[in-house]
Copies of this chain bind each other. A is one copy, B any other.
Amino acid sequence: MNNAFLDLIRTRRSIRFYQPEQIGDDELATVLDAGTYAPTGHGLQDPWIVAVQNPDLRRRLSQLNASFIEPRPDYDPYYGAPTVVLVFCSSPEKCKTGQADGALVLGTMMLAAHAIGLGTCWINREREMFDTDEGRALMAEMGLPEGLVGVGALSLGHIAKGPKPNKPRKENYYRVVK
């Protein structure tokens, strides 16, 4: 069984080399809009999505993210992508499914970006970043309410260098009990 959608799922790969030119507003809106249609626990639409294209804010995010890598690297953890998309959710006390909901928003945006020819890579350490005074100040600057926690981020942009072909899937990735 096959269709174009399944091909897209199979051919999406993490992209770590981006063209410096910014993506179009319509491209960005397409990706972000797709993210809002990810399933959420009880349909509560808990996640919060922030796309950052502002160079100064982008630079400060990069520095804060890198501060959680040991030894602290001199590279941009967002791989030089012109857009960084952050996803937040409510605290576990307020929304038990928040982290999973946010993960699905990120995953859905990765597929939507791939569907229109853009590259993404999931970037970690957002939970740690936004659990600091500096991180909370950045969240306030982005207009987010207090009390949210970081889920993850995407680097997003036009692909400069494509990835290698997919690695084989591991043995017994799935099993069926009949």
Query: In residues 26-57 of chain A, which contact B (Cβ within 8 Å)?
Result: 26-30, 32-39, 41, 43, 45, 47-54, 57
**Complexed CA–CA distance, A148 and B65 (Å):** 29
How far is the CB of A41 from the nearest CB of chain B, in Å? 7
A1-28 to B contact mask, C-beta < 8 Å, 1/0: 1111110111010100000000000111
State whether the Cβ of A116 lies closer than 8 Å to any Cβ in chain B.
yes
> Across the interface, which residues of B come within 8 angstroms of A152, CB to CB?
100
Contact among B5, B14, B28, B175 for A39, CB-based, below 8 A: B14
**Do A111 and B5 have beta carbons less than 8 Å apart?**
yes
A50-82 to B contact mask, C-beta < 8 Å, 1/0: 111110010000000000000000000000000
**Do B28 and A116 have beta carbons less than 8 Å apart?**
no
Copies in the complex: 2
**Do B6 and A5 have beta carbons less than 8 Å apart?**
no
State whether the Cβ of A112 lies closer than 8 Å to any Cβ in chain B.
yes
**Do B116 and A51 have beta carbons less than 8 Å apart?**
no
Are A176 and B36 CB-contacts (below 8 A) given A104-B104, A115-B3?
A: no
**Complexed CA–CA distance, A26 and B167 (Å):** 23
**Do B45 and A169 have beta carbons less than 8 Å apart?**
yes
**Complexed CA–CA distance, A99 and B169 (Å):** 19
A–B complex contacts, Cβ < 8 Å, 5 sampled = A14-B43, A28-B176, A99-B103, A104-B104, A142-B175
Closest 5 CB pairs of A and B: A49-B174, A103-B103, A5-B115, A104-B107, A32-B174
